[in-house]
Amino acid sequence: MIDLARDMMAKIDRGVRLESVDEMTAEYRDNLVHLLTMQADSELAGGYGYVPWITRAPTVEEKHVVAQIVKDELRHATVMYGLLADLGFDVENHVRQHDEIFTMRIDANRDIGTARITSDKRVNIFYYPIDTWADFIFFNFCMDRGAGHQLEDVRGCSYGPWVRAIDGIFKEEKFHIRHGEFWVKKLAEDSETHAEAQTTFAKWYIRTMNIFGRPESPKNQVYRRLKLKLRDNDEVRQAFAAEVKDLCEKFGLTVPEWKPVWEKLPEEAHIPG
């Protein structure tokens, strides 16, 4: 085991990516499984949350776009669960145990900060309902963009199959982000929808800022040592915030103040360390 750990870290430190479970220590595998499960469960729960908007979208073209986004998210979930199965994770049992939970949504007015309230591993922003078209758009604009910033780290991580899988997922997420940007501009620049756009943006922006985790989280430090992540949580959050600020200046939206709530909640309440 000592030789395995030493050999594994020597590969990682040289920039050689791991390709199979045989090359991993139990610590590496456990942390990798945790991160992959969070992404897989989030993709599946996210896809389920979008489904009602296939029929409720404002135009036939937008119904098609939403259907495509749902298809993308379910494909992403399938890819991620496939990676988990390759690591010996019992995917079918996991999904069967949580399938009804994935559709659960809390009251729209409830603020859960960074809390996780179910036994699946989805990012907690997926507990919130998407009740209006503006909700759908600003979820696209904020959360998909936030996820994109996190996926940037995966593209340089130490597990080869995950890196390769992310390439295709990343391209599709870029489409979702562009769709959100198009509609945010449209809603923000229309005097009849500007106020709703500002209110809805503020809500989803704060929820997205909560997903990145605590600065210098002990979990994040382990992920970085194993090169499953490359940056501290706050570095990723600030990159997201800077990009959104620049866009909102163009669109005429005001970025709300965000205050961290780490001291109030346990560490396991947010997207992985």
Dump pLDDT digits (tens) for 198-230.
Answer: 999 999 999 999 999 899 999 999 999 999 999
Determine the pLDDT at residue 272. 38
The string of pLDDT tens digits covering residues 104-142 is 999 999 999 888 899 999 999 999 999 999 999 999 999
**Minimal CA–CA distance to 73: which of 162, 172, 205?**
172
Q: How confident is the model at residue 1 (pLDDT cuts 50, 70, 90)?
A: low
The three-state secondary structure class of 18 is strand
Look up residue 47 and give its amino acid: G
What is the structure's pLDDT at 271? 40
User: 30-72, pLDDT tens digit by residue?
Assistant: 999 999 999 999 999 999 999 999 999 999 999 999 999 999 9
d(CA 269, CA 233) in angstroms, rounded, equals 14
Q: Identify the pLDDT of residue 167.
A: 87
pLDDT in tens, 150-178: 989 999 999 999 999 998 898 888 889 99
The set of residues, in sequence order, having a beta carbon less than 8 Å from that of 43 and lying 6+ positions away, is: 73, 74, 76, 77, 80
Mean pLDDT of 5-9: 96
- Orientation angle between helical segments 233-251 and 160-189, nearest 10 degrees: 30
Predicted confidence at residue 56, as pLDDT, reads 97
SS (H, E, C) 28-76: HHHHHHHHHHHHHHHHHHHHHHHCCHHHHCCCHHHHHHHHHHHHHHHHH
Q: What domains sit in the chain, N to C, each tagged with a CATH number? A: 22-110+120-269 (1.20.1260.10)
Alpha-helix runs per DSSP H in the chain = 2-14, 26-50, 53-56, 60-86, 91-98, 133-139, 145-154, 160-189, 194-209, 218-225, 233-251
Residue 273, pLDDT above cutoff 50: no
CA–CA–CA angle 217, 220, 222 (5° rounding)? 115
Q: What's the mean pLDDT when you consider all of the chain?
A: 93
Q: How far apart are CA 159 and CA 226, in angstroms?
A: 10
* pLDDT for 243 beyond 90: yes
How many residues are given for the chain?
273
